[in-house]
Amino acid sequence: MCFNRAHRAFFFLIGCAVVGILLAPRAFPEDKQAEVETILKRAKAAMDVRSADSRPFQFAAGFHFDGGRNNDDPPFDGLYTETWKSPTLWRLEIDVPDFTQVEIGEGDKRWLLHDLSLEPNHFSEVRRLFQFRDFEVDKINKVWETSLGIQRVQCIRSRDKGTQHTFCFDAASGVLVQAKIEGLGQQHDCEYSDYRKYVEKLYPGSIRCTENGNPWLEATITNFQADSSPVDSKLFVPASGAVEEPVCAKVESVHPLHTPDPVYPVNSPPPQGDTVFEGIVGVNGELTALTLKHSSGDAFDQEAVRAMRLWKFHPGTCAGIPIAVRVTFQIAFHPR
């Protein structure tokens, strides 16, 4: 469930975050819809190293972030590591300078641990860079076949709430070769290459992304091997302070109880669009693990965070039991 609320000084939208969920195409000719479903199922079968029929593995990749919009964010290097035993038992860790995130999945539960309350800019994009469980599509408006250089590809274009997604898959093998996301005045293009077979699936050895045509994020696989070692139970014990995010078929959304307005920064230039954050509303109704998804300027972002630290919610529930829920907030600043 998603909901809106207007304030005198600003407007924010709390949206249900949807990541890696394959949605059925809507209002599309049946023959084209069948074609889209065939393309997506083929890609998933070829690439999904985390499927129920996959073998356990150890995975590591180095990545480099070139900078944010107009290169106003400092570049950094990082390391992504993952130990995957099954769809119900895995651990991944992402390390960048001055920040570490550990994620553990066991059964139908998931835990996240940050060593800071606010993630670095664009940190969440790093995690999604290595995940190919499904492809995020909503209202399909085009499916076609074309060429990228000498490579023949099948492409799908969809749109959801002003954001346009385009995925292109190799016509021969079915793997993803290009992804584009356009929205909020930004365009991100990612290219996937150097595919090799690991644990009986195909996975790209190199991923390169641009933002508005400029180098942005790139990754190189440094280790990918089958893991037949016994399960080390200590590796999958959530550390103290980890936030639990259980999987639930039907989540009753959070409701605001106390959401004071952020202050409009004095003597600041006009905001650069809306500030968009993603965060987790815990079982205690408090907001944690904030991730900046779109900046409207440092001063506006800081005021938004200052206000959000005071926000209080009625937590989301699953079958009547309070649970942690990941939520997206869109904040538009207007002078009083």
**Tokens representing 317?**
């529930």
Among 68-77, 147-156, 158-167, the minimum mean pLDDT is found in: 68-77
Nearest-angstrom CA–CA distance, 5 and 335: 18
Q: Is the pLDDT of residue 183 over 70?
A: yes
28 band by pLDDT with thresholds 50, 70 and 90:
low
145-150's contacts with Cβ under 8 Å and 24+ in sequence apart are 145/171, 148/177, 148/178
Return the H-helix or E-strand segment holding 290. strand 287-294
- The set of residues, in sequence order, having a beta carbon less than 8 Å from that of 31 and lying 6+ positions away, is none
CB 87 within 8 A of CB 51: yes
Higher model confidence: residue 203 or residue 109? 203
User: What band does 69 get if pLDDT is binned at 50, 70 and 90?
Assistant: low
What's the pLDDT tens digit per position in 195-211? 999 999 999 999 999 98
Is pLDDT at 15 greater than 60 in this prediction?
no
Confidence of residue 91 (pLDDT cuts 50, 70, 90): very high
- Rounded to a whole number of angstroms, the distance between the first and last alpha carbons of the chain is 31
Q: What is the pLDDT of residue 234?
A: 93
Q: b/e map of 62-83 (b: 16 or more CB within 10 Å)? A: ebebbbbbeeebeebebebebb
What pLDDT is stored for residue 73 in this prediction? 67
Half-sphere exposure of 100 (CA within 13 A, CB side): 7
User: What's the pLDDT score for residue 4?
Assistant: 30
Q: What is the mean pLDDT of the chain?
A: 83
Could you give the domains of the chain? 3-17+247-333 (3.30.2420.10), 30-140+183-236 (2.50.20)
pLDDT at 267: 85
**The pLDDT of residue 16 is above 50:** no
Residue 207's pLDDT is what?
A: 95
Write down the pLDDT at residue 119.
65
pLDDT score of 108:
80
Distance between CA atoms of residues 219 and 205, nearest Å:
8
pLDDT at residue number 135? 65
More confident residue, 123 or 210: 210
Q: CA 7, CA 2: separation in Å to the nearest integer? A: 17
Residue 270 has pLDDT above 80, yes or no: yes
pLDDT of amino acid 236: 95
